[in-house]
Amino acid sequence: MRYLFGAIRDWTALFKEAYNAVKPGGWVESCESEPMTHSDDGTVTNDGSTALGGTWDKMFIEGGKATGCSLSVLTEDLQMKAMKEAGFVDIQETFYKASEEPFHIITVLTGRTWTDPVRFMAQRSQDGGDRPVCEAQSRIRPCWLFTNDLA
């Protein structure tokens, strides 16, 4: 499951459905992001001193409250709680850092430096296009792998 932030009202119900659908010993992967901004060096803060960290985040937080579908899935740790409540075990969480640099995600995953989408898509066509763009983008996001282990 990918990019469901802002679309789910009850994460526990969703993961209970996933739990019931997967065979014992099977696994489900969920990759989510959120539109909130974070920075390691403090250049973006949530105190309102910057538009990106203050106004932008507030707009999405309030929008999620208004619709009943949170957009701050990672900040609120909604998925981890819901997975545990649904009965999943062996939950593994991995965070990848994303950069503002264009095509940073693709560079991390392929080891190649790409500076524009036209060159990237042209090379992708030559390589056989076996790597969908959405796969490369989502793999840099926080990912959880969890199992339905009834054995």
* CA 13/CA 50 separation, integer angstroms: 37
Residue 151's pLDDT is 39
Report, as an integer, the average pLDDT of 24-44.
77
* CA 122/CA 135 separation, integer angstroms: 17
Residue 36's pLDDT is 74
Tens of pLDDT, residues 85-144: 999 888 888 776 665 555 555 566 666 555 555 555 555 445 544 444 333 333 333 444
pLDDT category, 14, cuts 50, 70, 90? very high
With CA atoms as reference, report the closest residue to 61 among 46, 49, 52, 72: 72
Q: Which strands sit side by side in the sheet containing 27-31, from one edge to the other?
A: 27-31, 143-147, 89-94
Report, as an integer, the average pLDDT of 43-55.
67
Whole-model pTM?
0.62
